[in-house]
Amino acid sequence: MNNFKNIVFTGFLVFLLGLGTLNAQIGDRYASPVFDEVTTLSEIPFSSAVRVGDDTPTTLYFDFYEPTGDTLTARPLVITVFGGAFVAGSRDYIDMVTYCTRLAEHGYVAASIDYRLLSFFSISAQNLVRDAYMAAQDVSSAIRFFKAHSAEYRIDTNNIFLLGNSAGSIASLHAMFMTEEERPAETFESPDLGGIHSSGFAEYAGFSPRVSGGVIHWGGVMDTTVIDSAEYVPICMIHGTEDATVPYDSGYCFSSLASFIMPFMYGSHPIANYLSSIGIEDYEFHPFEGEEHCFYLNSFYQLIGDKFDSCFNITRNFLYHHLQFPDPSSIQDHSPNNNISLYPNPVSRSFTLCTDKLDNGQTCHVEIMNTFGQVIKSESRDLSNPVFNVSDLSSGIYFIRINQKDDLFTGKFIKK
Protein backbone atom coordinates (compact mmCIF):
# COMPACT_ATOMS: atom_id res chain seq x y z
CA MET A 1 0.00 0.00 0.00
CA ASN A 2 2.83 2.38 0.89
CA ASN A 3 4.49 1.64 -2.46
CA PHE A 4 1.25 2.48 -4.22
CA LYS A 5 1.04 5.79 -2.32
CA ASN A 6 4.64 6.58 -3.21
CA ILE A 7 3.96 5.86 -6.88
CA VAL A 8 0.86 8.07 -6.86
CA PHE A 9 2.69 10.85 -5.02
CA THR A 10 5.67 10.68 -7.39
CA GLY A 11 3.32 10.74 -10.39
CA PHE A 12 1.53 13.73 -8.96
CA LEU A 13 4.81 15.61 -8.54
CA VAL A 14 5.76 14.84 -12.13
CA PHE A 15 2.34 16.05 -13.21
CA LEU A 16 2.76 19.32 -11.32
CA LEU A 17 6.18 19.87 -12.85
CA GLY A 18 4.73 19.21 -16.27
CA LEU A 19 1.87 21.57 -15.53
CA GLY A 20 4.32 24.31 -14.58
CA THR A 21 6.10 23.89 -17.90
CA LEU A 22 2.77 23.87 -19.75
CA ASN A 23 1.61 27.05 -18.07
CA ALA A 24 4.94 28.71 -18.76
CA GLN A 25 4.50 27.91 -22.45
CA ILE A 26 0.79 28.68 -22.78
CA GLY A 27 0.22 31.46 -20.29
CA ASP A 28 -3.05 33.38 -19.98
CA ARG A 29 -4.88 34.38 -23.15
CA TYR A 30 -4.77 38.17 -23.70
CA ALA A 31 -2.12 38.57 -20.98
CA SER A 32 0.59 36.40 -22.58
CA PRO A 33 1.32 34.84 -25.98
CA VAL A 34 -0.74 31.68 -26.38
CA PHE A 35 -0.47 31.10 -30.14
CA ASP A 36 2.71 30.31 -32.08
CA GLU A 37 1.45 31.26 -35.53
CA VAL A 38 -0.58 34.11 -37.00
CA THR A 39 -2.64 34.07 -40.19
CA THR A 40 -2.88 37.28 -42.22
CA LEU A 41 -5.58 38.20 -44.71
CA SER A 42 -4.44 41.09 -46.90
CA GLU A 43 -5.99 43.98 -48.81
CA ILE A 44 -9.66 43.62 -47.87
CA PRO A 45 -11.79 46.67 -48.83
CA PHE A 46 -13.83 48.32 -46.07
CA SER A 47 -14.68 51.76 -47.48
CA SER A 48 -14.60 54.02 -50.52
CA ALA A 49 -14.33 57.79 -50.13
CA VAL A 50 -13.08 60.85 -52.01
CA ARG A 51 -9.75 62.38 -51.01
CA VAL A 52 -9.02 66.10 -50.81
CA GLY A 53 -8.46 67.34 -54.36
CA ASP A 54 -9.86 64.23 -56.06
CA ASP A 55 -13.08 63.73 -57.97
CA THR A 56 -13.30 59.93 -57.78
CA PRO A 57 -13.47 57.76 -54.64
CA THR A 58 -10.44 55.98 -53.21
CA THR A 59 -10.88 52.40 -51.99
CA LEU A 60 -9.62 51.84 -48.46
CA TYR A 61 -8.30 48.45 -47.36
CA PHE A 62 -7.32 46.60 -44.20
CA ASP A 63 -5.06 43.67 -43.38
CA PHE A 64 -6.49 41.21 -40.84
CA TYR A 65 -4.39 39.25 -38.33
CA GLU A 66 -5.75 36.29 -36.36
CA PRO A 67 -4.31 33.41 -34.32
CA THR A 68 -3.77 30.37 -36.53
CA GLY A 69 -6.08 27.54 -35.51
CA ASP A 70 -8.13 29.65 -33.10
CA THR A 71 -11.65 28.29 -32.59
CA LEU A 72 -13.05 31.03 -30.35
CA THR A 73 -16.20 32.40 -31.96
CA ALA A 74 -15.97 35.98 -30.62
CA ARG A 75 -12.51 37.57 -30.26
CA PRO A 76 -11.55 41.07 -29.07
CA LEU A 77 -10.47 43.28 -31.99
CA VAL A 78 -7.77 45.96 -32.06
CA ILE A 79 -7.87 48.34 -35.03
CA THR A 80 -4.47 49.93 -35.65
CA VAL A 81 -4.10 53.31 -37.40
CA PHE A 82 -0.66 54.24 -38.77
CA GLY A 83 1.12 57.59 -38.53
CA GLY A 84 2.58 59.90 -41.19
CA ALA A 85 1.32 63.49 -40.71
CA PHE A 86 -1.75 62.72 -42.85
CA VAL A 87 0.38 62.88 -46.01
CA ALA A 88 2.35 59.63 -45.77
CA GLY A 89 2.25 56.22 -44.14
CA SER A 90 0.89 52.78 -44.77
CA ARG A 91 -1.03 50.01 -43.01
CA ASP A 92 2.03 47.77 -43.47
CA TYR A 93 4.39 50.02 -41.50
CA ILE A 94 6.62 47.92 -39.27
CA ASP A 95 5.09 49.11 -35.99
CA MET A 96 1.54 48.36 -37.10
CA VAL A 97 2.53 44.93 -38.45
CA THR A 98 4.38 44.09 -35.22
CA TYR A 99 1.56 45.29 -33.01
CA CYS A 100 -1.01 43.29 -34.97
CA THR A 101 1.16 40.16 -35.00
CA ARG A 102 1.92 40.24 -31.29
CA LEU A 103 -1.68 40.95 -30.35
CA ALA A 104 -2.82 38.00 -32.46
CA GLU A 105 -0.28 35.82 -30.66
CA HIS A 106 -1.96 36.93 -27.42
CA GLY A 107 -5.37 35.80 -28.69
CA TYR A 108 -6.74 39.04 -30.11
CA VAL A 109 -7.62 39.67 -33.72
CA ALA A 110 -6.19 42.86 -35.21
CA ALA A 111 -6.72 44.95 -38.30
CA SER A 112 -4.33 47.51 -39.76
CA ILE A 113 -6.40 49.98 -41.79
CA ASP A 114 -5.97 52.58 -44.51
CA TYR A 115 -7.31 56.11 -44.32
CA ARG A 116 -7.33 58.92 -46.86
CA LEU A 117 -4.02 60.76 -47.21
CA LEU A 118 -3.48 64.29 -48.39
CA SER A 119 -1.56 64.77 -51.63
CA PHE A 120 1.71 66.66 -51.20
CA PHE A 121 0.47 69.22 -53.74
CA SER A 122 -2.69 69.86 -51.71
CA ILE A 123 -0.99 70.69 -48.42
CA SER A 124 -2.36 73.80 -46.74
CA ALA A 125 -3.49 74.73 -43.25
CA GLN A 126 -7.13 74.29 -44.26
CA ASN A 127 -6.58 70.97 -46.04
CA LEU A 128 -4.60 69.46 -43.19
CA VAL A 129 -7.54 70.01 -40.84
CA ARG A 130 -9.94 68.67 -43.44
CA ASP A 131 -7.82 65.59 -44.04
CA ALA A 132 -7.42 64.90 -40.31
CA TYR A 133 -11.22 64.97 -40.11
CA MET A 134 -11.46 62.63 -43.13
CA ALA A 135 -9.08 60.23 -41.41
CA ALA A 136 -11.35 60.23 -38.35
CA GLN A 137 -14.30 59.50 -40.66
CA ASP A 138 -12.39 56.55 -42.10
CA VAL A 139 -11.57 55.19 -38.64
CA SER A 140 -15.27 55.40 -37.80
CA SER A 141 -16.19 53.58 -41.01
CA ALA A 142 -13.74 50.79 -40.13
CA ILE A 143 -15.33 50.34 -36.69
CA ARG A 144 -18.80 50.10 -38.22
CA PHE A 145 -17.58 47.73 -40.94
CA PHE A 146 -16.26 45.27 -38.37
CA LYS A 147 -19.47 45.44 -36.35
CA ALA A 148 -21.46 44.72 -39.51
CA HIS A 149 -19.16 41.77 -40.34
CA SER A 150 -18.55 40.54 -36.79
CA ALA A 151 -19.82 37.02 -37.52
CA GLU A 152 -17.60 36.67 -40.60
CA TYR A 153 -14.45 37.72 -38.74
CA ARG A 154 -15.53 36.26 -35.37
CA ILE A 155 -15.31 39.54 -33.50
CA ASP A 156 -16.65 40.31 -30.04
CA THR A 157 -18.30 43.69 -30.70
CA ASN A 158 -18.22 44.47 -26.96
CA ASN A 159 -14.43 44.50 -27.15
CA ILE A 160 -13.23 46.67 -30.03
CA PHE A 161 -10.29 48.98 -29.38
CA LEU A 162 -8.35 51.57 -31.40
CA LEU A 163 -4.57 51.85 -31.43
CA GLY A 164 -3.00 54.83 -33.17
CA ASN A 165 0.43 56.23 -33.95
CA SER A 166 0.79 60.02 -34.32
CA ALA A 167 -1.67 61.09 -37.06
CA GLY A 168 -3.43 57.77 -36.50
CA SER A 169 -3.82 58.68 -32.84
CA ILE A 170 -5.21 62.12 -33.70
CA ALA A 171 -7.72 60.49 -36.07
CA SER A 172 -8.64 57.88 -33.43
CA LEU A 173 -9.24 60.44 -30.69
CA HIS A 174 -11.54 62.51 -32.88
CA ALA A 175 -13.37 59.41 -34.16
CA MET A 176 -14.02 58.39 -30.55
CA PHE A 177 -15.07 61.75 -29.13
CA MET A 178 -16.00 64.38 -31.74
CA THR A 179 -19.68 65.20 -32.26
CA GLU A 180 -21.40 67.09 -35.08
CA GLU A 181 -21.47 70.25 -32.94
CA GLU A 182 -17.70 70.05 -32.44
CA ARG A 183 -16.68 69.82 -36.09
CA PRO A 184 -13.93 72.25 -37.15
CA ALA A 185 -15.12 75.14 -39.32
CA GLU A 186 -12.89 73.93 -42.17
CA THR A 187 -14.98 70.76 -42.52
CA PHE A 188 -18.08 72.76 -43.49
CA GLU A 189 -16.34 74.62 -46.31
CA SER A 190 -17.17 73.52 -49.84
CA PRO A 191 -17.45 70.68 -50.41
CA ASP A 192 -18.97 69.97 -46.98
CA LEU A 193 -17.37 66.79 -45.62
CA GLY A 194 -20.49 65.59 -43.82
CA GLY A 195 -20.80 64.09 -40.35
CA ILE A 196 -17.88 62.34 -38.75
CA HIS A 197 -19.74 59.02 -38.84
CA SER A 198 -21.20 59.47 -42.34
CA SER A 199 -18.44 57.89 -44.42
CA GLY A 200 -18.22 54.30 -45.65
CA PHE A 201 -20.41 51.74 -47.35
CA ALA A 202 -24.17 52.08 -46.87
CA GLU A 203 -24.53 48.50 -45.62
CA TYR A 204 -23.07 49.36 -42.20
CA ALA A 205 -24.28 52.95 -41.83
CA GLY A 206 -26.60 51.98 -38.97
CA PHE A 207 -23.94 50.40 -36.78
CA SER A 208 -22.55 52.24 -33.76
CA PRO A 209 -19.02 53.68 -34.02
CA ARG A 210 -18.50 53.34 -30.26
CA VAL A 211 -15.47 51.37 -29.09
CA SER A 212 -14.31 50.08 -25.71
CA GLY A 213 -11.18 52.22 -25.54
CA GLY A 214 -8.10 53.48 -27.32
CA VAL A 215 -4.32 53.40 -27.05
CA ILE A 216 -2.87 56.74 -28.12
CA HIS A 217 0.79 56.94 -29.11
CA TRP A 218 2.02 60.57 -29.19
CA GLY A 219 -1.36 61.96 -30.23
CA GLY A 220 -3.45 65.01 -29.53
CA VAL A 221 -6.72 66.85 -30.09
CA MET A 222 -7.53 70.25 -31.56
CA ASP A 223 -9.59 71.08 -28.47
CA THR A 224 -9.60 69.17 -25.18
CA THR A 225 -13.30 69.92 -24.66
CA VAL A 226 -14.07 67.57 -27.55
CA ILE A 227 -13.89 64.89 -24.82
CA ASP A 228 -16.71 64.83 -22.30
CA SER A 229 -17.85 62.38 -19.69
CA ALA A 230 -21.06 61.39 -21.50
CA GLU A 231 -19.21 59.89 -24.48
CA TYR A 232 -15.99 58.93 -22.74
CA VAL A 233 -14.33 55.55 -23.15
CA PRO A 234 -11.01 54.71 -21.46
CA ILE A 235 -7.82 55.82 -23.18
CA CYS A 236 -4.15 55.06 -22.61
CA MET A 237 -1.71 57.78 -23.67
CA ILE A 238 2.00 57.26 -24.37
CA HIS A 239 4.08 60.35 -25.17
CA GLY A 240 7.69 61.54 -25.13
CA THR A 241 8.16 64.74 -23.13
CA GLU A 242 10.43 66.26 -25.82
CA ASP A 243 8.07 65.64 -28.73
CA ALA A 244 8.22 68.56 -31.21
CA THR A 245 6.11 66.87 -33.90
CA VAL A 246 2.87 66.39 -31.97
CA PRO A 247 3.43 68.44 -28.81
CA TYR A 248 3.53 66.71 -25.45
CA ASP A 249 1.96 69.86 -24.01
CA SER A 250 0.32 72.24 -26.49
CA GLY A 251 1.46 74.09 -29.60
CA TYR A 252 1.71 73.79 -33.34
CA CYS A 253 2.67 70.46 -34.85
CA PHE A 254 6.17 70.32 -36.40
CA SER A 255 7.00 73.46 -34.42
CA SER A 256 10.61 73.44 -35.63
CA LEU A 257 9.75 72.94 -39.30
CA ALA A 258 6.48 74.19 -40.71
CA SER A 259 4.26 75.40 -37.92
CA PHE A 260 2.76 78.14 -40.13
CA ILE A 261 0.55 75.57 -41.89
CA MET A 262 0.17 73.08 -39.06
CA PRO A 263 -2.84 72.85 -36.72
CA PHE A 264 -2.57 73.82 -33.07
CA MET A 265 -2.78 70.69 -30.93
CA TYR A 266 -3.20 69.74 -27.28
CA GLY A 267 -1.03 66.73 -26.52
CA SER A 268 -1.27 63.97 -23.94
CA HIS A 269 -0.25 66.10 -20.95
CA PRO A 270 -3.07 68.67 -21.23
CA ILE A 271 -5.52 65.90 -22.17
CA ALA A 272 -4.64 64.07 -18.94
CA ASN A 273 -5.02 67.28 -16.92
CA TYR A 274 -8.35 68.01 -18.57
CA LEU A 275 -9.69 64.51 -17.89
CA SER A 276 -8.79 64.86 -14.23
CA SER A 277 -10.43 68.29 -14.08
CA ILE A 278 -13.79 66.91 -15.27
CA GLY A 279 -13.65 64.00 -12.85
CA ILE A 280 -12.59 61.22 -15.22
CA GLU A 281 -10.19 58.81 -13.54
CA ASP A 282 -10.24 55.79 -15.88
CA TYR A 283 -7.34 56.78 -18.11
CA GLU A 284 -3.65 56.01 -18.27
CA PHE A 285 -0.93 58.53 -19.00
CA HIS A 286 2.62 57.30 -19.60
CA PRO A 287 5.10 60.15 -20.19
CA PHE A 288 8.55 59.06 -21.38
CA GLU A 289 11.02 61.58 -20.02
CA GLY A 290 13.40 63.03 -22.62
CA GLU A 291 11.97 61.03 -25.52
CA GLU A 292 10.97 62.61 -28.82
CA HIS A 293 8.27 61.75 -31.33
CA CYS A 294 7.66 58.09 -32.24
CA PHE A 295 10.60 57.12 -30.05
CA TYR A 296 10.29 53.36 -30.63
CA LEU A 297 11.55 53.81 -34.23
CA ASN A 298 15.04 54.78 -35.39
CA SER A 299 15.87 57.05 -38.35
CA PHE A 300 15.68 54.06 -40.73
CA TYR A 301 12.13 53.30 -39.53
CA GLN A 302 13.26 50.17 -37.74
CA LEU A 303 11.90 49.21 -34.35
CA ILE A 304 14.07 49.87 -31.31
CA GLY A 305 13.38 46.63 -29.48
CA ASP A 306 13.38 47.65 -25.83
CA LYS A 307 11.43 50.87 -26.44
CA PHE A 308 8.81 49.11 -28.53
CA ASP A 309 8.55 46.38 -25.89
CA SER A 310 7.88 49.03 -23.23
CA CYS A 311 5.04 50.48 -25.33
CA PHE A 312 3.66 47.05 -26.16
CA ASN A 313 3.62 45.99 -22.52
CA ILE A 314 1.73 49.15 -21.56
CA THR A 315 -0.72 48.52 -24.39
CA ARG A 316 -1.19 44.83 -23.55
CA ASN A 317 -1.88 45.55 -19.90
CA PHE A 318 -4.32 48.36 -20.69
CA LEU A 319 -6.27 46.22 -23.13
CA TYR A 320 -6.34 43.24 -20.77
CA HIS A 321 -7.73 45.30 -17.91
CA HIS A 322 -10.41 46.88 -20.08
CA LEU A 323 -11.83 43.78 -21.72
CA GLN A 324 -15.57 44.01 -21.15
CA PHE A 325 -16.96 40.66 -20.14
CA PRO A 326 -20.23 40.31 -18.20
CA ASP A 327 -20.53 41.85 -14.76
CA PRO A 328 -18.31 39.63 -12.60
CA SER A 329 -20.72 40.00 -9.70
CA SER A 330 -23.24 37.95 -11.66
CA ILE A 331 -20.71 35.17 -12.24
CA GLN A 332 -18.12 35.30 -9.49
CA ASP A 333 -18.24 35.87 -5.77
CA HIS A 334 -15.46 38.31 -4.92
CA SER A 335 -14.97 36.77 -1.46
CA PRO A 336 -11.68 34.84 -1.47
CA ASN A 337 -13.31 32.21 0.74
CA ASN A 338 -15.69 31.33 -2.09
CA ASN A 339 -13.12 31.18 -4.88
CA ILE A 340 -12.15 27.70 -6.01
CA SER A 341 -9.26 26.58 -8.18
CA LEU A 342 -8.75 23.79 -10.66
CA TYR A 343 -5.90 22.22 -12.57
CA PRO A 344 -4.56 22.19 -15.18
CA ASN A 345 -5.42 25.75 -16.11
CA PRO A 346 -5.35 26.41 -19.07
CA VAL A 347 -7.05 23.10 -19.81
CA SER A 348 -7.03 20.98 -22.95
CA ARG A 349 -9.47 18.10 -22.30
CA SER A 350 -10.38 17.88 -18.60
CA PHE A 351 -9.61 19.54 -15.29
CA THR A 352 -9.68 18.43 -11.69
CA LEU A 353 -11.52 20.62 -9.23
CA CYS A 354 -9.78 21.42 -5.95
CA THR A 355 -12.47 20.49 -3.41
CA ASP A 356 -10.91 21.52 -0.11
CA LYS A 357 -13.72 24.07 0.43
CA LEU A 358 -16.47 21.65 -0.61
CA ASP A 359 -18.17 18.57 0.85
CA ASN A 360 -17.22 15.82 -1.57
CA GLY A 361 -20.12 13.62 -0.58
CA GLN A 362 -22.78 16.30 -0.76
CA THR A 363 -24.68 16.76 -4.03
CA CYS A 364 -24.07 20.12 -5.68
CA HIS A 365 -25.23 21.93 -8.80
CA VAL A 366 -22.47 22.84 -11.25
CA GLU A 367 -22.71 25.37 -14.08
CA ILE A 368 -20.07 26.36 -16.64
CA MET A 369 -20.61 29.72 -18.35
CA ASN A 370 -18.94 31.62 -21.17
CA THR A 371 -17.90 35.27 -20.98
CA PHE A 372 -21.36 36.39 -22.07
CA GLY A 373 -22.86 34.79 -18.96
CA GLN A 374 -24.52 32.02 -20.96
CA VAL A 375 -24.70 28.61 -19.26
CA ILE A 376 -22.86 26.12 -21.50
CA LYS A 377 -22.98 23.09 -19.20
CA SER A 378 -25.18 22.32 -16.22
CA GLU A 379 -25.41 19.23 -14.03
CA SER A 380 -26.04 18.00 -10.49
CA ARG A 381 -23.46 15.63 -9.00
CA ASP A 382 -21.38 14.88 -5.96
CA LEU A 383 -17.67 15.59 -6.08
CA SER A 384 -16.33 12.17 -5.18
CA ASN A 385 -15.10 12.35 -8.76
CA PRO A 386 -13.84 15.95 -9.16
CA VAL A 387 -12.77 15.53 -12.82
CA PHE A 388 -14.69 17.53 -15.43
CA ASN A 389 -14.43 16.83 -19.16
CA VAL A 390 -14.52 20.05 -21.23
CA SER A 391 -13.02 18.74 -24.46
CA ASP A 392 -16.15 19.81 -26.35
CA LEU A 393 -15.74 23.49 -25.41
CA SER A 394 -14.25 26.01 -27.83
CA SER A 395 -11.09 27.90 -26.87
CA GLY A 396 -11.71 30.82 -24.56
CA ILE A 397 -12.36 32.00 -21.02
CA TYR A 398 -15.02 30.24 -18.91
CA PHE A 399 -16.43 30.48 -15.40
CA ILE A 400 -17.54 27.63 -13.15
CA ARG A 401 -20.19 28.14 -10.50
CA ILE A 402 -21.00 25.54 -7.84
CA ASN A 403 -24.00 25.76 -5.54
CA GLN A 404 -23.79 23.44 -2.52
CA LYS A 405 -26.03 23.69 0.54
CA ASP A 406 -26.96 27.27 -0.43
CA ASP A 407 -23.28 28.29 -0.60
CA LEU A 408 -21.98 29.63 -3.92
CA PHE A 409 -18.42 28.89 -5.09
CA THR A 410 -16.90 30.25 -8.27
CA GLY A 411 -13.79 29.88 -10.37
CA LYS A 412 -12.36 30.73 -13.77
CA PHE A 413 -10.48 28.69 -16.37
CA ILE A 414 -9.12 28.98 -19.89
CA LYS A 415 -9.88 26.33 -22.49
CA LYS A 416 -7.08 26.12 -25.03
Q: Are 138 and 47 in contact (CB under 8 A)?
A: yes
Does 339 have pLDDT greater than 80? no
Q: Which of 122-126, 234-238, 307-311, 326-330 has the lowest average pLDDT?
A: 326-330
Residue 21 confidence (pLDDT) above 80:
no
278-317: burial string, b at 16+ Cβ within 10 Å, e else: eebeebbbbbbeebebbbbbeeeeebeeebbebbbebbbe
Q: What is the pLDDT of residue 327?
A: 46
Reported residue count of the chain is 416
- Measured CA to CA, the distance from residue 289 to residue 287 in angstroms comes to 6
Q: How confident is the model at residue 325 (pLDDT cuts 50, 70, 90)?
A: low
* For residue 17, pLDDT beyond 70: no
pTM of the model as a whole: 0.74
Query: Does residue 55 surpass a pLDDT of 70?
Result: yes
User: Has residue 14 got a pLDDT over 60?
Assistant: no
**Residues 43-70: what's their mean pLDDT?**
92
Q: What percent of the chain has pLDDT over 70?
A: 88
Cβ-defined contacts of 378-386 (< 8 Å, 24+): 383/353, 383/355, 383/358, 383/359, 384/360, 386/352, 386/353, 386/354, 386/355, 386/360
pLDDT of the residue at 25: 30
Stretch among 301-305, 370-374, 386-390 having the lowest mean pLDDT: 370-374
Number of DSSP helices (H) and strands (E) in the chain, helices first: 7, 17
Q: How confident is the model at residue 66 (pLDDT cuts 50, 70, 90)?
A: very high
pLDDT of residue 112: 98
How much is the pLDDT for 11?
45
Least confident of 98-112, 322-336, 373-387: 322-336
pLDDT in tens, 226-279: 999 888 999 999 999 999 899 999 888 876 665 567 788 999 999 999 999 999
List pLDDT tens digits, range 113-143.
999 998 878 888 888 999 999 999 999 999 9
| Over residues 193-198, mean pLDDT | 90
Element (H, E) at 140: helix 125-148
| pLDDT band, residue 415 (cuts 50/70/90) | confident
